[in-house]
Amino acid sequence: MAQPLVKKDDDRDDEADYSPFLGIEKGAVLQEARVFNDPQLDPRRCSQVITKLLYLLNQGETFTKVEATEVFFAVTKLFQSKDIGLRRMVYVMIKELSPSADEVIIVTSSLMKDMTSKTDMYRANAIRVLCRITDGTLLTQIERYLKQAIVDKNPVVASAALVSGIHLLQTNPEIVKRWSNEVQEAVQSRAALVQFHALALLHQIRQNDRLAVNKLVSSLTKGSVRSPLAQCLLIRYTSQVIRESANNNQAGDRPFYDFLEGCLRHKAEMVIFEAARAITELNGVTSRELTPAITVLQLFLSSSKPVLRFAAVRTLNKVAMTHPMAVTNCNIDMESLISDQNRSIATLAITTLLKTGNESSVDRLMKQITNFMSDIADEFKIVVVEAIRSLCLKFPLKHRSLMNFLSNILREEGGFEYKKAIVDSIVILIRDIPEAKESGLLHLCEFIEDCEFTYLSTQILHFLGIEGPKTSDPSKYIRYIYNRVHLENATVRAGAVSTLAKFGAMVDTLKPRVFVLLRRCLFENDDEVRDRATLYINTLGGDGAVVETGEDVKEFLFGSLDIPLVNLENSLKNYEPSEESFDINSVPKEVKTQPLAEKKAPGKKPTGLGASPAGPPSTVDAYEKLLSSIPEFANFGKLFKSSAPVELTEAETEYAVNVVKHIFDGHVVFQYNCTNTIPEQLLENVTVIVDASEAEEFAEVASKPLRSLPYDSPGQTFVAFEKPEGVPAVGKFSNMLRFIVKEVDPSTGEAEDDGVEDEYQLEELEVVAADYMLKVGVSNFRNAWETMDADCERVDEYGLGPRESLAEAVNAVINLLGMQPCEGTEVVPNNSRSHTCLLSGVYIGNVKVLVRLQFGLDGPKDVAMKLAVRSEDEAVSDAIHEIVASG
Amino acid sequence: MESCPSIKNILLLDSEGNRVAVKYYSDEWPNNSVKEAFEKSLFSKTQKTNARTEAEIAMFESHIIVYKFVQDLHFFVTGAENENELILVTVLQGFFDAVGLLLRGTVDKKEALENLDLILLCLDEIVDGGIILETDANVIAGKVASHSIDAAAPLSEQTISQALATAREHLARSLLK
């Protein structure tokens, strides 16, 4: 048998000390594995060979498919041995090899035999191995044994079955869910770990059933949990229940708080800490609730165990963000942690102190921080920098010492992220604290003198161009900027040229000198830098004399481009050099709907640099802009509401189409967003033929076809309808996509000249009453309700018939009306027989509407509802009732 | 956080950062080179700290890592960023003490490699697929030790510590019942 040579582990060879695995080679070990086939097995020797194989795998060695199969088959022979130690190694080996499905069959019967063995260790391990390698079909065969094992009197066997159940729940949930009764029984087990595993599995089985989780928590918090780990789980589940029921009882005592507080007196530190952390993370936690948790965390701060100190200070650090006052009691303990051996603990202590400290302690703190800044990692330094930034915004009077600190650390060694954090902080301080501006700008100037990061240099130069000219003595910055033109790479040089030009444009007295400097740049090597210099010399005008710069030049230099950059890029790519010069006005300003649909990244930090920090415009603004740019729709008036996109095609069809309904006072515009998902096709002249025969009050007035729809670049076509003014007309529309399809050669990307007309059936679209309602919340429903004229109130009762649950009925009515639920009343507490829901909105014609819904269960399933509407117009109040009556 | 506490990996490295035995339970480290890089940088970050009397803790690449050193062996347990630190340290302590029992007090790299089968079984008994199986060092060591002897062999042929471990396991079982 030819064995591939294995390279030796060099590190190991160099070692002087003896290792039993010195010079081990895969090929040799695989040869040795032949002893598994001996008729007379030597358990000790076999165990050693398995250990060697496991050692190789553990060191990162891999077996080829053939090798793995060979080893696997050899290992299965070892089931003949009765030696317990060897069997144990066999189990581990099989798990490591993770055999394929057809190999699993070979060991199944051996493992099933072990699973029913009298030896506990066999049962426990065979279950773990079998569940690890099995698939769904085999699982049904062994299900019976697993259920028995869960309630086995040996805790090791029970735990093995339960833990395997937790893993299997990911792949075969329907089978594991059938074991609830057994798992429930195991939760009552007297063995600590069994209880822990059973609780974890039971919760995962029921996690989508809020009521069941609620029940589980209520019964267990009464005290039958022994294991600390299980108790920690219970605390987590309890906080989940608290969180989900938080909306219902804002006043009064929080349910289960007593349980959490009781856990603070548990004998296991793990449980105490879990409970303390759970309390600090409660939504809207009050300082009264916090106090006992803070007290135990404070005790942990002076523990001799680093892990406890770390856990406590990390939690207190988080609390300090929202409740700085609650943490101030710990400040003395916290200050002694600044010199903690463990740098993570020291950093957390410092940043906590920065958050809770008062103005008088700032200077002392800064001194302590400076001492330890040099020996912590960049990621911690960033944390400190951010803490100092917020501290400075809190105490603007201290800006001098804080700004000095920032500029000092800016000069020290550090990676990009760290330097960027410092620069961002300085920029933010310059923006928000006017007194800090001049010194801050000079710090930045000094920094770019010796900055290795191009990105930071250009950003700072840009920022200087905006802020520098507005200072009392702009001329002092010129030297720093012009130095960049000499000493930097082309990107930074180009940035510096632009900044110089900005000074020239804004500060008339400086213009002649800037002109001289710009002229020198005309002999640049780099095209971009030279072109910029030429451009600025020509636009600034005045031939270097002290004259005022024209407004349009300033606009050109400082104004923002109101064209989406993506569109500009596309247009430039499509532009073919010809007599006709490129016209920037030909670039479409329409924003593609695709990027709009993207969610904004959550929790993004505000960026300090960059020209326009304003976020992307809201969807409604974007739609409004888009529609008003189309002449056919320009006279429709103000856009009242745009719906969320409604899909008109199944996922993964040839053409993906969704529609947005734009509601105007007297018109409705359907915006069809189309995507062509076939690379071999180009669609042209795309329109949607709308049949409005089931929507009597609507009459088609205009349609804007899409000229061309290439593969994978979404486009829009529009159809507009007229409807009676101010009337919430409803109806159904059937849609047909019509277009000319042209074949595209995928290799060249060119389309054929001739196309074929084709049609594609889309799903129906409905305009419903909710489309005429804007979701607008009110801060105080009661006040708003009282101030509305009671004469416009309309009250009536409705039977909603049998419903799945009260919550389902409430949701149905909210969706039907399309209004904004207020004060969290859309959440229905479990088990309640009645519920009141408050809604608010703005109806078409800008009429404010408030709705008070009272639901009650009438019999087992029937839901009855009392609907009270108040609005600024009684006709609208009636209309709401009509919506409900017909819905 | 309502999930079950989970362990991402358990590492046992030597005094130069090389592997003695490691076990990963999370697929955040897709291949061996990523794992080795993680071990190397973790080792260099922690090697200067004094984790010999008490377990130490560090935040590292968005993980919480607890660790403890003895002789030329470095024990690590990694968990998620928001994990209860004290649960992680309980697992670490269980592993650490169990290895101590299994190696009969002589805890160093040489002894660990010579009894690598025990170390691997020990890892197998502490965590299964990221879920904590057992944290009590006596129970862990008992389970591992009882496997290394033939159940049929009379007690007199076992070494003292094996006999102790067996006895301990019997005791632990009877207490749990």
Say how far apart CA A789 and CA A870 lie, in whole Å: 7
List all residues of chain A from 174 to 213 with a beta carbon under 8 Å from chain B: 190-193, 196-197, 200, 203-204, 207
Closest residue in A to B21 (Cα–Cα) = A58
Rg (CA), chain A: 36
Q: How many CA atoms lie within 13 A of A132 on its CB side?
A: 22
**Which of A862, A689, A843 has its CA nearest to residue A776?**
A843
Q: Is A858 exposed, middle or buried (0-12, 13-18, 19+ CB in 10 A)?
A: middle
3-state DSSP of A271-327: HHHHHHHHHHCCCCCCHHHHHHHHHHHHHHHCCCCHHHHHHHHHHHHHHHHHCHHHH
Confidence of residue A156 (pLDDT cuts 50, 70, 90): very high
**Assigned token pair, A568:** 């500009």
Closest residue in B to A10 (Cα–Cα) = B18
Phi, psi of B74 (to 5 degrees): -120, 120
- Encode A773-782: b = buried (16+ Cβ within 10 Å), e = exposed: bbbeebeebe
**Per-residue pLDDT tens for B7-18?**
999 999 998 889
**Assigned token pair, A336:** 């002694």
Domain boundaries, chain A: 258-357, 377-560, 627-767, 772-886
- Encode A635-674: b = buried (16+ Cβ within 10 Å), e = exposed: ebeebbbbbebeebbeeeeebbbbbbbbbbbebbbbbbbb
Using the beta-carbon criterion (under 8 Å), do B117 and A341 form an inter-chain contact? no
- CB atoms near residue A757 (< 10 Å): 10
Q: With respect to residue B57, please indicate whether it lies within any of the assigned structural domains.
A: yes
- The residue-averaged pLDDT of B48-56 equals 87
* Residue A596 in this model has a pLDDT that exceeds 60: no
Distance from CA of B150 to the nearest CA of A (A): 6
Say how far apart CA A279 and CA A296 lie, in whole Å: 12
Say how far apart CA A614 and CA A620 lie, in whole Å: 16
Q: With respect to residue B147, please indicate whether it lies within any of the assigned structural domains.
A: no
Tell me how long chain A is.
Answer: 887
**Which among A192, A311, A377 has CB closest to B85?**
A311
- CATH of region A377-560: 1.25.10.10
Asked whether A704 and A680 are in contact (CB, 8 A), the reply is no
List all residues of chain A from 123 to 182 with a beta carbon under 8 Å from chain B: 128, 132, 153-156, 159-160, 163-164, 166-167
Domain of B84, CATH number, reads 3.30.450.60
Q: Does A119 touch chain B (CB under 8 A)?
A: yes
Q: Does A320 touch chain B (CB under 8 A)?
A: no
* Residue A376 in this model has a pLDDT that exceeds 50: yes
Residue written as tokens 């604290």?
A433
Q: With respect to residue B94, please indicate whether it lies within any of the assigned structural domains.
A: yes
In chain A, residues with a C-beta closer than 8 Å to the C-beta of B89 are 305, 307
Residue of A234, A270, A302, A383 to mutate when probing chain B, most B C-beta within 10 A: A270
Say how far apart CA A142 and CA A153 lie, in whole Å: 19
Please tell me the predicted confidence (pLDDT) of residue A641: 83
* Residue A603 in this model has a pLDDT that exceeds 70: no
Confidence of residue A165 (pLDDT cuts 50, 70, 90): very high
Q: With respect to residue B59, please indicate whether it lies within any of the assigned structural domains.
A: yes
ipTM of the modeled complex? 0.84
Say how far apart CA A679 and CA A692 lie, in whole Å: 33
Asked whether A504 and A547 are in contact (CB, 8 A), the reply is no
Confidence of residue A747 (pLDDT cuts 50, 70, 90): confident
Please give the interface size between A and B, counted as residue pairs whose CB atoms are below 8 Å apart: 158
| CB contact set of A803 (below 8 Å; sequence gap of 6+) | A809, A812, A861, A862, A863
- The residue-averaged pLDDT of A107-127 equals 88
**Which among A163, A307, A377 has CB closest to B66?**
A307
Asked whether A673 and A705 are in contact (CB, 8 A), the reply is no
Please tell me the predicted confidence (pLDDT) of residue A618: 52
Using the beta-carbon criterion (under 8 Å), do B57 and A196 form an inter-chain contact? no
Using the beta-carbon criterion (under 8 Å), do A163 and B133 form an inter-chain contact? yes
Confidence of residue B64 (pLDDT cuts 50, 70, 90): very high
Please tell me the CATH superfamily of domain A772-886, with its number: TATA-Binding Protein (3.30.310.10)
The structural architecture, per CATH, of the domain A258-357 is: Alpha Horseshoe (1.25)
Tell me how long chain B is.
Answer: 177
Helix, strand, or coil here: A186?
helix
Residue type, A165: G
Distance from CA of B42 to the nearest CA of A (A): 13
Q: CATH fold of A627-767, please?
A: Immunoglobulin-like (2.60.40)
Shared fold status for A258-357 and A377-560: yes
Task: Supply the DSSP symbol for A560.
Answer: P
Using the beta-carbon criterion (under 8 Å), do B18 and A11 form an inter-chain contact? yes
Q: Does A375 touch chain B (CB under 8 A)?
A: no
Say how far apart CA A764 and CA A694 lie, in whole Å: 11
Q: Does A365 touch chain B (CB under 8 A)?
A: no
Please tell me the predicted confidence (pLDDT) of residue A614: 37
| CB contact set of B173 (below 8 Å; sequence gap of 6+) | A154, A155
For A569-589, give the DSSP string: HHHHHHPPPSSSPP-GGGS--
Looking only at the bridges linking them, the beta strands covering A667-676 and A655-663 are: antiparallel
| CB contact set of A4 (below 8 Å; sequence gap of 6+) | A26, A27
Please tell me the predicted confidence (pLDDT) of residue A235: 92
Please tell me the predicted confidence (pLDDT) of residue B37: 92
Q: What is the mean pLDDT of chain A?
A: 82
Q: What angle do CA A687, A693, A696 make, to 5 degrees?
A: 115
Using the beta-carbon criterion (under 8 Å), do B146 and A311 form an inter-chain contact? no
In which domain, by residue range, is B117 found?
9-134
Q: With respect to residue B153, please indicate whether it lies within any of the assigned structural domains.
A: no
Q: With respect to residue B62, please indicate whether it lies within any of the assigned structural domains.
A: yes
**Per-residue pLDDT tens for B128-137?**
999 999 999 9
Confidence of residue A591 (pLDDT cuts 50, 70, 90): low
Q: With respect to residue B82, please indicate whether it lies within any of the assigned structural domains.
A: yes
**Assigned token pair, A432:** 């928000």
**Assigned token pair, A546:** 């002290």
Looking only at the bridges linking them, the beta strands covering A715-722 and A681-694 are: unpaired
List all residues of chain B from 75 to 114 with a beta carbon under 8 Å from chain A: 84-90, 109-110, 113-114
* Residue A557 in this model has a pLDDT that exceeds 70: no
Residue type, A616: P
**Which among B19, B36, B86 has CB closest to A269?**
B86
Looking only at the bridges linking them, the beta strands covering A834-843 and A773-774 are: antiparallel
Distance from CA of B104 to the nearest CA of A (A): 18
What is the number of domains present in chain B?
1
Q: Does A716 touch chain B (CB under 8 A)?
A: no
List all residues of chain A from 215 to 244 with a beta carbon under 8 Å from chain B: 229, 232-233, 236-237, 239-240
List all residues of chain B from 123 to 152 with a beta carbon under 8 Å from chain A: 124, 128-129, 131-135, 143, 146-152
In chain B, residues with a C-beta closer than 8 Å to the C-beta of A311 are 57, 84-86
Task: Supply the DSSP symbol for A361.
Answer: G
Asked whether A569 and A596 are in contact (CB, 8 A), the reply is no
**Per-residue pLDDT tens for A247-268?**
555 555 677 888 899 899 999 9
Q: Above pLDDT 90, what percent of chain A?
A: 13
Q: With respect to residue B150, please indicate whether it lies within any of the assigned structural domains.
A: no
Distance from CA of B86 to the nearest CA of A (A): 5
Residue written as tokens 């400097």?
A517
Residue written as tokens 């990221």?
B130
